[in-house]
């Protein structure tokens, strides 16, 4: 499922020359296509609550039974915790639906922005 988003280009020059009022943490997210989001449904294999970034490893099984593991990158424990997350927020084996900005490379990865758990509760990261 794809949702169109306004086309944006985050050029290196813009980051280098810009005088933003905020400093980006650690690195840019230029490897992600933030023109659009992709939504996947799968099972949590591992939630890496780590610095500089957290990672969610999710296994997705398609109609033909083929399993693909996605690597989804997000905020640090510091930033996520101040948005309501805890290290125990996602448990291995838990079924989730995740909306993400996909990798431009087409590999199964991206930047997670919205997670919906089986009970309908949600977790967010600005991506």
Partner 1 sequence: MADSAVIRAVVALLALTAPAMQAATPAPSANAPFDLSGVWMNDDTLDERMKREGRTRQTAAELRGPPAAAETPPLTPRYLEIYQRMQEEAKKLADGAAGCEWPGMPTIMTYPYPFEILTTPGRITFLFEVESQVRRVFLDRDRHLDPDDLDPSYNGDSIGRWEGKTLVIDTVGFNTRRPVRGLPHSEQMRIVERITPVDADTLKNEMTITDPEAFTRPMVINVQYSRRPDWRIREYSCAENNRDAPDASGQRSGAIVPAP
Considering the rule CB under 8 A, would residue 51 count as an interface residue with partner 1? Answer: yes
Residue 3, token pair as written in the block: 């949702």
Considering the rule CB under 8 A, would residue 118 count as an interface residue with partner 1? Answer: no
Closest separation between CB of residue 69 and partner 1, Å? 7
The half-sphere exposure of 17 on its side-chain side, counting CA atoms within 13 A, is 5
Q: Which residue has the tokens 């639906």?
A: 97
The Cα–Cα gap between 56 and 83 comes to 16
Selected from 67, 83, 91, 95, the binder of partner 1 by CB under 8 A is 83
Closest separation between CB of residue 124 and partner 1, Å? 4
The Cα–Cα gap between 68 and 37 comes to 18
Q: Which is nearer to partner 1, 14 or 67 (CB)?
A: 14
Q: Give, in degrees to the nearest 5, the angle at Cα 61 between 55 and 108.
A: 40
Q: Which residues bind partner 1 (CB under 8 A)?
A: 5-6, 8-32, 34, 46-53, 55, 57, 69, 71, 73, 75-79, 81-83, 104, 109, 113-114, 124, 126-127
């Amino acid at each position: 499922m794809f949702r169109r988003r306004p086309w944006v280009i985050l050029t290196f020059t813009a980051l280098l020359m810009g005088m933003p009022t905020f400093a980006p943490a650690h690195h840019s997210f230029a490897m992600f296509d933030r023109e659009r989001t992709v939504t996947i449904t799968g099972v949590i294999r591992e939630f890496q609550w780590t610095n500089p970034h957290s990672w969610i490893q999710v296994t997705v099984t398609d109609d033909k039974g083929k399993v693909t593991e996605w690597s989804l990158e997000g905020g640090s424990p510091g930033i996520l915790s101040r948005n309501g997350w805890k290290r125990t927020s996602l448990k291995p084996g838990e079924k989730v639906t995740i909306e993400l900005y996909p990798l431009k490379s087409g590999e199964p990865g991206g930047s997670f922005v919205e997670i919906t758990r089986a009970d309908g509760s949600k977790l967010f990261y600005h991506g």
